[in-house]
């Protein structure tokens, strides 16, 4: 096992969770953000590391896109989302001069920055570090998994949408987890059905059940379906706390269920 | 002491290994930072990289230029954001263009880690065949050929866990070694982002003049902020933007027929973005659950739902792209 001193800036981090998907736009950043907010509501201290270098979404979802990262003796100070410093965030979004600047980088440069993100961010004491990733199984993923390996991540949450086109890509991501020895915490099916706000009819905009089928097929836990919920999208657009503001919404129970699953998985290890 | 056979085997191994695995922070030999970046300190190749002229253009660029002489129009489909409908759009742009039997259309899927085109075009499980003149594309119809890394995988579970250089090599092969033949439209479907795949396709096609890029987005700000980056990427690499398509724009409930905004355009949607960035908006496509279903079964929704507002909007957009390619920018005016 690693000695405490060697863990450096991640020494105070209890559990590391990766949020992955082979497919883009399925809600990895949404799930990462909501997971962080839900864990915060159970009294945990959470950090989010956004390794999506070409399309960082989390700063906006937490309404901190204007903030800057500062240096301290032990490295970069992450951006704190709230006064109590219960959620901290590191993202390339904070390092760009203009928000619309394109990060046109090939793999080696991306790998170098991810290594720095893993080693040089002064997270302090955290119960959970959630790592939000870009779609695919390439440089960012290899670099993230390799540099986090010494810290034994708790595992990966895989996000998919229900349709076959998306499930196909997530199957490949499962193979990635297997090959890299990353435990799969479970699969989340996002955008699962849309309840019409006018007539309450539920439409399966992106079909239904693909995530659950995949979980069964692959023999990994199914963490639940998160429906398409305009209240959720709106809170993310405005950077508001969905978990606090909309406890009655349709997506809320699903998100809380996923959080409970992760908490129960984490507890035997922390004791 | 070495046996000569062992020594030569080792030499073979060592040679390519040095080329294949650059240091992690290596800016790359093509970069103007080559040999000068912080990471180059102490690298055995530093002298070579900093003193020599940058290695000169990849010889493949010339070969690709020759190969692409038979391709009239090249259109890239881009988006900074994932899951906004790039592949759906690419596939249906191809279907739409191929309705004219006199036109030859090809789709090249350079989403190496998440190839969706085979599924969307109903070609899952197909294999690529090798012929004397290269890899043959897989044909959906006589005048619609497709190439994707999906055709090279043996199982749907196969993950392509490749770093940038290998992905670039694959893209190069797709352009140089595929027997495309005479083509009117080559549609290139890309992964999300602004990284290896995007730089490579623009670089490799650089000498052949690309007609331009169609940018796909969804209405919400979280997507638009990534799409703005993509438009800036296009400007950086001098790739003309044909226009922006707003996909998943409003959802009409099949029961009460009232429209809802699943992905609300809180900052004015694509319309506002296009105004600010001064790029044309090609159209808006409403969310229609039938589209997703057709894609899952590999059917063209043009034939499945010919009268849906989404289909009509698609047709209008395709017409505008055709006009752009044929009228707006005559061949001789386009600079390579």
Give me the pLDDT at residue B221, please.
Answer: 95
Percent of chain B whose predicted confidence (pLDDT) is above 90: 74
The average pLDDT across A42-59 equals 97
B264 to chain A, closest Cα gap in Å: 7
Distance CA A123, CA A129 (A): 9
pLDDT, tens digit, for every residue of A78-122? 999 999 999 999 999 999 999 999 999 999 999 999 999 999 999
Residue A144, CA distances (Å) to A8, A18, A139 in order: 16, 9, 8
Does A24 belong to an annotated binding site? yes
- Name the residue among A169, A28, A201, A197 with its Cα closest to residue B289: A201
**Angle, in degrees to the nearest 10, between helices B196-204 and B164-176:** 30
Domain ranges for chain A: 13-270
B160/A172 Cβ within 8 A? yes
Whether the CA torsion B211, B146, A54, A205 is positive or negative: it is positive
Predicted local distance difference test score (pLDDT) of residue B8: 38
| Cβ within 8 Å, pair B24-A111 | yes
Choosing among 3.90.550.10, 3.40.50.300, 3.40.50.1820, 3.90.105.10, the CATH entry for A13-270 is 3.40.50.300
Residue A145 CA to chain centroid, in angstroms?
A: 14
Q: Would you tell me which residues 311-330 of chain B have a C-beta closer than 8 angstroms to some C-beta of chain A? A: none
Q: How far is residue B140's CA from residue A133's CA, in Å, rounded to a whole number?
A: 34
For the record, the structure tokens of A256 come out as: 């809380």
User: DSSP secondary-structure letter at A54?
Assistant: S
Parse chain B into domains and list their residue ranges. 24-56, 64-333
Chain A, 155 to 214: residues with Cβ < 8 Å from chain B are 161, 163-166, 168-169, 171-176, 179-180, 194, 196-199, 201, 203-207
Q: Which CATH number fits domain B64-333: 3.50.50.60, 3.40.50.150, 1.10.287.3510, 3.40.50.300?
A: 3.40.50.300
Return binding residues of B for ATP: 80-87
C-alpha distances (whole Å) from B221 to each of A57, A62, A231, A247, B230 are 10, 13, 15, 24, 14
Residues in chain B where the model's pLDDT stays below 70:
1-25, 29-30, 44-45, 48-55, 328-336
Residue A115 backbone dihedrals phi, psi, to 5 degrees: -60, -40
User: Mind listing the pLDDT tens digit for each residue in B21-66?
Assistant: 445 667 776 677 777 777 777 776 677 666 655 557 788 999 999 9
**Rounded CA separation B304/B310 (Å):** 12
pLDDT of res. B327: 76
pLDDT attached to residue B55: 59
Residues within 8 A of A (CB atoms), B 252-281 only: 253-256, 258, 260-264, 266-267
In angstroms, the CA B175 to CA B203 distance is: 12
pLDDT confidence of residue B30: 65
Residue of A99, A164, A234 best to disrupt the B interface, most CBs of B under 10 A: A164
Over the stretch A2-33, which tens digit does the pLDDT of each residue have?
A: 444 467 899 999 999 999 999 999 999 999 99
CA distance A19 to A205: 23
């Amino acid at each position: 096992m690693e000695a405490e001193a060697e863990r450096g800036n991640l020494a105070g981090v209890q559990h590391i969770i990766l949020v992955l998907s082979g497919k883009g736009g399925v809600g990895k950043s949404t799930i990462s953000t909501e997971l962080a907010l839900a864990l915060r509501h159970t009294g945990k201290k959470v950090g989010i590391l956004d390794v999506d270098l070409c399309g960082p979404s989390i700063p906006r979802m937490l309404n901190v896109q204007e903030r800057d990262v500062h240096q301290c003796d032990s490295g970069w100070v992450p951006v704190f989302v709230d006064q109590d410093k219960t959620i901290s965030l590191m993202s390339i979004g904070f390092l760009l001069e203009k928000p619309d600047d394109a990060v046109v980088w090939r793999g080696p440069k991306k790998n170098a920055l991810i290594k720095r993100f893993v080693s040089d961010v002064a997270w302090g004491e955290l119960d959970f570090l959630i790592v939000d990733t870009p779609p695919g199984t390439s440089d960012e993923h290899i670099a993230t998994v390799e540099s986090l390996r010494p810290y034994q991540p708790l595992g990966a949450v895989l996000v998919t949408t229900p349709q076959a086109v998306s499930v196909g890509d997530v199957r490949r991501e499962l193979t990635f987890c297997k090959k890299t020895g990353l435990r799969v915490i479970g699969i989340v099916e996002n955008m699962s059905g849309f309840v019409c706000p006018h007539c309450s009819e539920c439409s399966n905009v992106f079909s239904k059940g693909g995530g659950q089928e995949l979980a069964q097929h692959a023999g990994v836990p199914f963490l639940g379906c998160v429906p398409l919920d305009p209240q959720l999208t709106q809170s993310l657009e405005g950077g508001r706390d969905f978990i606090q503001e909309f406890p009655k919404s349709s997506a809320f129970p699903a998100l809380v269920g996923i959080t409970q699953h992760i908490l129960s998985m984490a507890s035997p290890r922390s004791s | 002491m070495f046996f000569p056979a062992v020594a030569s085997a080792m030499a073979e191994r060592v040679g390519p290994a040095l080329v294949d695995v650059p240091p992690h922070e290596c800016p790359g030999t093509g970069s103007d930072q080559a040999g000068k970046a912080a990471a180059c300190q102490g690298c055995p190749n530093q002298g070579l990289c900093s003193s020599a002229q940058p290695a000169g253009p990849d010889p493949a660029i010339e070969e690709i230029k020759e190969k692409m002489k038979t391709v009239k129009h090249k259109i890239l489909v881009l988006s900074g954001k994932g899951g906004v409908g790039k592949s759906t759009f690419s596939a249906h742009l191809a279907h739409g263009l191929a309705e004219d039997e006199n036109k030859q259309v090809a789709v090249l899927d350079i989403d190496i880690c998440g190839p969706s085109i085979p599924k969307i075009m109903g070609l899952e499980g197909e294999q690529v065949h090798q012929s004397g003149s290269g890899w043959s594309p897989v044909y959906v119809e006589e005048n619609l050929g497709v190439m994707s890394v999906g055709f090279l995988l043996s199982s749907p579970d196969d993950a392509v866990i490749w770093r940038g250089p290998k992905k670039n090599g694959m893209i190069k092969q797709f352009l140089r070694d595929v027997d495309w033949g005479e083509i009117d439209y080559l549609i290139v479907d890309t992964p999300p982002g602004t990284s290896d795949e995007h730089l490579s396709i623009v670089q490799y096609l650089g000498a052949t003049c690309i007609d331009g890029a169609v940018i796909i987005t969804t209405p919400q700000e979280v997507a638009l902020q990534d799409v703005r980056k993509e438009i800036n990427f296009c400007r950086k690499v001098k790739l003309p933007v044909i226009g922006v398509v707003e996909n998943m724009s409003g959802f009409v409930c099949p029961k009460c027929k009232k429209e809802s905004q699943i992905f609300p355009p809180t900052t004015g949607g694509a319309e506002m973005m296009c105004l600010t960035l001064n790029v044309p908006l090609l159209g808006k496509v409403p969310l229609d659950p039938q589209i997703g279903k057709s894609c899952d079964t590999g059917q063209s929704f043009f034939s499945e739902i010919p009268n849906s507002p989404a289909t009509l909007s698609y047709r209008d957009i395709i017409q505008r792209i055709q006009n752009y390619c044929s009228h707006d920018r005559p061949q001789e005016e386009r600079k390579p």
